Structure 1
């Protein structure tokens, strides 16, 4: 396990893989700048007839919006190739023939994907307490909708105490479905401060609710299962390419896919060594099949024209 990609391994990947699943930030680009060699590798794989999917835990964009971001950065992408947690959450509810009303701690993109499937929801947008409202007044003014039978938590820049109370109260109800897009702890931006990720919002709800949500995104298998069902994918003919062992690589392992770690993002080889020698079997799922310095190195080994 965890072999560095060389020309022989690159050839084997090309012969044994039909479907390439790419994490985006840290693999294809950093923030809004393409990582050199990534674009040429994607285009090269497409020219050989390989299926490409852009797989992200991001819940702040619809599939259409994310496809446009890819195009703006030069990557060839259409909506059907985008697998984001706003869409997967809506698709999951649609596939289970969900009937009811959803309380969403989230954003307008989650709402738009739910709307596309005709799913009834509420909660998106600001819900702040009044400026001088005391704690007991916030609690006493809380009105719960008896029709809510599902809670969906994603990224919400308007997160507030009333929203946390409502979501936790609904989630705590017997028979209520509790979903979360992902539990990423923070956003990986090159800034001198910590930007909490969706995981911080999910924790604020699940801890008082005393209930664990069903996760839609990586590292759980729901994201791949929905993709597999839509395109009849054989996991043994798929590879997940990512920069984060705890999400990208773990999902690949859990789904029976090969995995390739690129060292242009979150995880390092020292992390991998720690996971390999750990006595915790869960950490063994974090160990990739292969690794390479950057995606463009794979492209170079495959004979694509990669700029220096």
Structure 2
């Protein structure tokens, strides 16, 4: 397909794009749902893509749910999906530690119970889930008891993040052979009504600052997330489309992996932001310019129903 980037996808171009791909990767929040409500028409789009023989996968940086939990949510919302098609950072982090790091030992986990479940599903034991209250004084904190079997620190979204957890992660990471992995660097979690709360990236940066070490992240825009899908299902990047609502994660992942990219405007990023990246003259920012954009993925429906 020819033409300049950041073009509105409409008319005959929709069918041309769909004909050029065999697989489609969708981000979740802001793309196929918002909160607990499906984006109007999203379930029809997903189900029709599958009916027409396209392979559909879901890639999310949210580490608060297991693959099974995501599949159950999608089924309730009307999507035809199974958990094998879902790739969240809770699952991908476990796979990364198991297959790439070949971890032998436990993980100190700053994260959710869903992350614990995904780690244990691949045979990795963890410690750290839940509150860790502070007591004593600074000398006690510096000598906090550590589990000698811990060989990695994994940081995801942790609603129980605390000074003692930060301190404990720091103490583990003073051991140079201790691996350091983060789920993602998203600094904000957008909510309905223009509200937001701090994201995992804030917690990860705190740990990195204390430990004076940088974590390896597995979530978007890191190519490992796509590698998880591609290695399991044989996805050809030349015939794959990434659909997302964030330029700095979804679209950049697509650019990093050589995928076609489609921005939907039902979530975080705007066309104005994409155009600013395009006009910046900065090579790094060009990776955040989508090939196409739509108001909503429901814009694909006419071509799929025709």
Contact 1:85 1:216 in 2 (8 A): yes
**Taking structure 1 as reference, are residues 193 and 54 closer, same or farther at Cα in structure 2, changes over 3 Å only?**
closer
Hey, what does 2:26 align to over in structure 1? Answer: 22
How do residues 1-308 of structure 1 correspond to structure 2 at under 5 angstroms? 1-96=5-100, 97-130=102-135, 133-134=136-137, 136=138, 138-191=140-193, 194-303=196-305
Moved more, 268-277 or 92-101: 92-101
RMSD in angstroms over aligned alpha carbons? 1.5
CA distances 1:188-234 after superposition (whole Å, capped 9, x unpaired) = 10257541111111111111111111111101111111111111111
Contact 1:10 1:302 in 2 (8 A): no
Moved more, 189-198 or 254-263: 189-198
Paired with 2:189 and 2:125, the residues of 1 have a C-alpha distance of: 30
Moved more, 214-223 or 164-173: 164-173
Q: What is the DSSP-based 3-state SS (H/G/I as helix, E as strand, rest coil) of the residue aligned with 2:305?
A: coil
Q: What is the DSSP-based 3-state SS (H/G/I as helix, E as strand, rest coil) of the residue aligned with 1:187?
A: strand
Q: What is the DSSP-based 3-state SS (H/G/I as helix, E as strand, rest coil) of the residue aligned with 1:302?
A: helix
- How many residues are matched? 301
The normalised TM-score by structure 2 is 0.94
Shift of 1:164: 0.4
Paired with 1:246 and 1:140, the residues of 2 have a C-alpha distance of: 37
Paired with 2:232 and 2:88, the residues of 1 have a C-alpha distance of: 14
Shift of 1:144: 2.4
**Taking structure 1 as reference, are residues 190 and 42 closer, same or farther at Cα in structure 2, changes over 3 Å only?**
same
Shift of 1:146: 2.9
Contact 1:138 1:162 in 2 (8 A): no
Shift of 1:141: 5.0
Contact 1:6 1:301 in 2 (8 A): no
The list of structure 1 runs, each at least 4 consecutive aligned residues, that deviate by more than 6 angstroms after superposition, is none
Moved more, 249-258 or 33-42: 33-42
CA distances 1:48-98 after superposition (whole Å, capped 9, x unpaired) = 011111111110111001100111111111010101000001111221332
Paired with 2:30 and 2:159, the residues of 1 have a C-alpha distance of: 23
Contact 2:60 2:88 in 1 (8 A): yes
**Taking structure 1 as reference, are residues 300 and 171 closer, same or farther at Cα in structure 2, changes over 3 Å only?**
farther
